Amino acid sequence: MFYTVKVKDHIRVPPDKFGEEIKLAIIGEIKNKYSGYISKDLGLVIDVSDIDDVGEGIIIPGDGASYYETTFNLITFEPEIQEVIRGKIKDIADFGVFFSMGPIDGMIHISQTMNDYVSFSKDKALQGKESKRNLKVGDKCRARIIAVSYKDIANPKLGLTMRQAGLGKDEWVEPDLAEGKGKVKKAAKPEDKKK
């Protein structure tokens, strides 16, 4: 999910930027500091959207740069468990699919690509045995996030599935829902189970 996050930080503006307009210099330095930044709390920083406040500059002896207490907004992407996302297939291997969601990629294990026995062909495509459905590089799909790991903070891992109703290649979604595969079964009431 995409978020706008308000952040307050001291931004260092080096002496070679002193001639520039202060807001432009600070935006450039925020982008240098936060671009591609990944954390468990913020997710993946996409861009700086706005600067709310710039405080008085302070020079620290021995540095020469000016530090400005700045309040600004970041646009971030934080993947959430059970979130349904749209993306496209970036690559296919014999063990699964690499799925691009824009700012980050995820992995769909071959067993999670469709409700069918799936085979991998040398031309980098997956084929369902009974359904005859296929997946190839560039296909637009819907997937659900089922696992998020920040074990390696520089390279978070996302696990996805396309086996549930309403997921998969865009061309599959409408026929599946029309066929009734997307219907939700009602749970039996406790008193019905006793009979």
Alpha carbons 15 and 9: distance in angstroms, whole number: 19
The residue-averaged pLDDT of 54-60 equals: 90
Give how far Cα 124 sits from Cα of 90, 120, 137, 177, Å: 11, 7, 7, 28
Measured CA angle at 4 (ends 72, 68), to 5 deg: 10
pLDDT per position as a tens digit, 91-106: 999 899 999 988 889 9
By three-state DSSP, how is residue 166 classified?
coil
Q: What is the DSSP letter of 187?
A: P
- CATH architecture observed for domain 84-179: Beta Barrel (2.40)
pLDDT for 177 equals 74
How many residues in total does the chain contain?
Answer: 195
Please state the domain extents for the chain: 2-77, 84-179
pLDDT for 180 equals 67
Show Cβ contacts of residue 143 under 8 Å, excluding neighbours closer than 6 positions.
84, 85, 87, 99, 106, 108, 160, 161, 162, 167
pLDDT for 189 equals 53
Q: How confident is the model at residue 195 (pLDDT cuts 50, 70, 90)?
A: very low
The residue-averaged pLDDT of 9-24 equals: 92
**pTM of this structure:** 0.72
To which CATH superfamily is domain 2-77 assigned?
A: RNA polymerase Rpb7-like, N-terminal domain (3.30.1490.120)
Tokens of 15: 């002496």
